[in-house]
C-alpha cells in the first residue's frame, strides 16, 4: 500500500498540512462519506509512524474500514480514487485561499450571475481596495485587474446608458498589460533554454512586440519594462548600454516582484556579466560582484526557490570571481555567512572545494592539499577543478613525482567517465599533455618555450591556459 499513488501524495504533507487536510475531509461541505474520513486517518497515522508501524496492506485497511466484509478490490480502488480527488481539491483550495484578488473577482462574477444588487457596491469597492493594497506588480497583478474590471463591466452594463462611458478601456488595457508582461516573461525563459538546447520555436508576434516596446517603453509598468530590458541583454548582448539600463530599471522596480522573481531577474544581469567575462571583458568581474552585493543587501541571493537556499553553482561562481578580484577577506566572509544557505546535500562538498579555491589564490598550498588530496567529489565539475588545482600546486612546489602520479590518475579518470562531453574532456586532456611537456623544458630554453607556446595557442581549448602560459614565461 505504501507504494500506492494516494499514499505517496499524502507523504508530501507536514503535520500542519495534515491537520488542515483532515478538517477539509471532515467538512460536510466537501465530503459526506465517513469511510473516506476513516481511510484518511488510517493512512496519515501510518505515515506519521516513521517506519515504526507494521506493514500496511489493502486488506488490513479494508478490515479497519469494513470489518469482516469480504475484500473488494474494485471498491477499494474507487475509495482510493475518491480520497485522491478530495486531496487534489484541498490543494487547489489552498492556492485559492491565498489569492484574495482572485476571490474578489470571482465574488463579482457570482454577484452578477445571481443579480444580487445589494452586494454590488460593497463588492466593487472591496475589489478596488484590494487592488490598491497590492504591493507586487508582476504579470498576474494585471490579469487580476482585467478580471475585476471585466466583471465590473458585466455588473454595470445593464445599468449604464449607451451615452455613458464604461470601464471597457480599463478592461482592454489590463488585458494588454498582462499579455505583454507574460509574453516577455516566457520569451525570456525560452531564450535561456535555447542556450542549453538547440531547438527552434515558432512564436507569434514576438518581433512586432519587440518593435512596439522599443517605441513605447511602458516605464510605469514594472513587469513590462523590466522583462523588456532583460530581453534586450539576451538578444543584443553586443550593446552594453542595455545591461546598464537593465540594472537601472531593476533598481527602480525590483521591489514590485516577489523575492523568487527578483532573484530570477537579477540572474539575467549576472548571466550577462558572465558572458562578457568569458569574452575577455575584465571590468565585468567587478560588475558581477556589485550585483551580488546588491542581491545580498536586498536579501534575495538565496531565493532561487521559496526554500531560501543558495544555488551551489552560483556560490562557486561568486567565490571564483571575487578571488579573481583579489578580494580574499570578503570571499572568506561570504563563504562563512552563506554556508548554511546551501542545500544540505551539496553543502560539505561546496564549502570544502571553495575554501580550497581561496587558499589556492592566497598561495597557501599546504592548506589546499590537506583539503583536496584525499577527496573524490561526487560532482564531476568539482573533481575537474580540484585535480586542476592540485596539478598547479604540485608544479609550483616542484613535487614532480606527485605531479606525474596525479597526471596519470587524472587521465584515467577522464577516460573512465564516458558521460563527460568530448569538448570538455579535451580541455583537461590538453592540460595533462602540456603540463607533461612543460616539465621537460629546462629553464632558459627559450626555443622550446616558444615552440610550446605556439602549440598551446594552436590547440582548441585548454583548461587553466592562462596559468600554463604564465609558468612557461617563467622558464624563459
CB atoms within 10 A of CB 141: 21
pLDDT of residue 160: 46
Q: How far is CA 78 from the centre of its chain?
A: 38
Report the distance separating Cα 40 and Cα 28, nearest Å: 15
Point out the least confidently predicted range of 84-93, 164-173, 238-247. 164-173
**Among residues 101, 71, 73, 82, which one has the least CA distance to residue 31?**
82
Element (H, E) at 200: none
The confidence band for 164, taking pLDDT boundaries of 50, 70 and 90, is low
Q: What percent of the chain has pLDDT over 90?
A: 80
Question: What average pLDDT does the segment 241-256 reach?
Answer: 95
- Provide the grid cell at 153: 463591466
- Provide the grid cell at 301: 541571493
pLDDT of residue 156: 77
- Domain positions in the chain: 5-98, 100-177, 376-476
pLDDT of residue 305: 86
pLDDT at 235 over 50: yes
Question: What average pLDDT does the segment 250-258 reach?
Answer: 93
Report the distance separating Cα 41 and Cα 473, nearest Å: 74
pLDDT at 51 over 60: yes
Mean pLDDT across the chain: 91
DSSP one-letter string for 131-168: HHH----SHHHHHHHHHHHHHHHHHHTTTS-TTS--SH
Report the distance separating Cα 419 and Cα 426, nearest Å: 13
pLDDT of residue 443: 92
Report the distance separating Cα 321 and Cα 328, nearest Å: 11
pLDDT at 211 over 80: yes
| Alpha carbon distances (Å) from 409 to 15, 404, 415 | 50, 9, 10
CB atoms within 10 A of CB 469: 15
Which backbone phi and psi does 178 adopt, to 5 degrees?
-65, -45
Point out the least confidently predicted range of 163-167, 264-268, 451-455. 163-167
pLDDT tens string 397-418: 999 999 999 999 999 999 998 8
Q: Are 452 and 434 in contact (CB under 8 A)?
A: yes
Question: What average pLDDT does the segment 380-409 reach?
Answer: 94
pLDDT tens string 293-307: 999 999 999 998 888
Q: Are 254 and 266 in contact (CB under 8 A)?
A: yes
For residues 198 and 226, the model is more confident at: 226
pLDDT at 362 over 60: yes
Q: What percent of the chain has pLDDT over 70?
A: 96
pLDDT tens string 52-86: 677 889 999 999 999 999 999 999 999 999 999 99
CB atoms within 10 A of CB 407: 20
pLDDT of residue 54: 78
Point out the least confidently predicted range of 114-123, 175-184, 267-276. 114-123
Question: What average pLDDT does the segment 454-472 reach?
Answer: 91
Secondary structure (3-state) at 427: helix
Question: What average pLDDT does the segment 335-349 reach?
Answer: 94
**Among residues 350, 349, 341, which one has the least CA distance to residue 305?**
341
Amino acid at each position: 500500500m505504501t507504494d500506492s499513488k494516494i499514499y505517496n501524495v499524502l507523504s508530501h504533507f507536514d503535520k500542519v498540512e495534515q491537520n488542515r487536510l483532515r478538517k477539509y475531509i471532515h467538512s460536510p461541505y466537501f465530503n459526506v462519506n465517513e469511510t473516506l474520513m476513516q481511510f484518511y486517518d488510517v493512512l496519515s497515522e501510518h505515515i506519521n509512524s516513521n517506519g515504526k508501524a507494521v506493514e500496511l496492506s489493502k486488506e488490513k485497511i479494508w478490515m479497519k474500514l469494513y470489518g469482516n466484509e469480504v475484500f473488494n478490490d474494485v471498491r477499494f480502488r474507487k475509495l482510493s480514487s475518491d480520497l485522491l480527488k478530495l486531496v487534489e481539491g484541498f490543494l487547489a483550495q489552498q492556492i485559492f485561499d491565498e489569492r484574495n484578488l482572485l476571490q474578489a473577482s470571482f465574488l463579482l462574477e457570482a454577484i452578477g450571475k445571481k443579480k444580487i444588487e445589494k452586494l454590488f457596491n460593497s463588492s466593487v469597492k472591496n475589489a478596488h481596495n484590494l487592488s490598491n493594497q497590492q504591493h507586487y506588480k508582476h504579470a498576474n497583478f494585471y490579469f487580476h485587474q482585467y478580471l475585476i474590471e471585466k466583471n465590473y463591466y458585466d455588473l454595470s452594463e445593464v445599468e449604464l446608458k449607451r451615452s455613458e462611458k464604461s470601464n471597457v478601456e480599463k478592461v482592454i488595457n489590463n488585458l494588454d498589460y498582462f499579455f505583454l508582461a507574460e509574453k516577455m516573461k516566457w520569451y525570456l525563459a525560452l531564450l535561456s533554454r535555447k542556450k542549453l538546447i538547440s531547438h527552434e520555436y515558432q512564436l507569434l508576434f514576438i518581433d512586432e512586440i519587440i518593435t512596439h516596446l522599443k517605441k513605447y517603453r511602458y516605464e510605469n509598468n514594472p513587469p513590462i519594462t523590466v522583462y523588456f530590458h532583460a530581453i534586450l541583454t539576451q538578444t543584443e548582448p553586443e550593446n552594453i548600454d542595455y545591461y546598464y539600463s537593465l540594472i537601472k530599471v531593476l533598481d527602480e522596480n525590483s521591489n514590485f516582484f516577489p523575492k523568487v522573481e527578483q532573484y530570477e531577474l537579477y540572474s539575467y544581469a549576472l548571466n550577462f556579466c558572465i558572458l562578457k567575462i568569458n569574452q575577455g571583458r575584465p571590468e565585468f568581474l567587478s560588475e558581477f560582484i556589485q550585483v551580488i552585493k546588491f542581491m545580498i543587501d536586498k536579501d534575495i541571493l538565496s531565493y532561487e526557490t521559496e526554500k531560501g537556499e543558495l544555488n551551489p553553482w552560483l556560490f562557486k561562481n561568486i567565490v571564483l570571481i571575487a578571488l579573481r578580484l583579489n578580494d580574499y577577506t570578503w570571499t572568506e566572509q561570504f563563504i562563512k555567512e552563506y554556508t548554511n544557505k546551501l542545500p544540505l546535500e551539496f553543502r560539505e562538498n561546496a564549502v570544502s572545494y571553495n575554501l580550497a579555491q581561496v587558499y589556492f589564490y592566497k598561495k597557501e598550498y599546504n592548506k589546499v592539499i590537506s583539503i583536496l588530496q584525499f577527496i573524490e567529489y561526487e560532482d564531476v565539475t568539482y573533481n575537474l577543478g580540484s585535480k586542476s588545482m592540485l596539478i598547479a600546486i604540485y608544479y609550483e612546489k616542484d613535487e614532480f613525482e606527485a605531479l606525474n602520479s596525479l597526471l596519470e590518475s587524472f587521465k584515467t579518470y577522464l577516460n573512465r567517465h564516458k558521460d563527460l562531453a568530448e569538448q570538455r574532456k579535451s580541455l583537461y586532456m590538453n592540460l595533462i599533455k602540456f603540463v607533461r611537456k612543460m616539465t621537460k623544458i629546462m629553464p632558459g630554453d627559450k626555443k622550446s618555450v616558444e615552440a610550446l607556446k605556439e602549440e598551446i595557442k594552436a590547440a582548441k581549448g585548454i583548461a587553466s591556459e592562462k596559468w600554463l602560459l604564465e609558468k612557461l614565461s617563467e622558464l624563459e
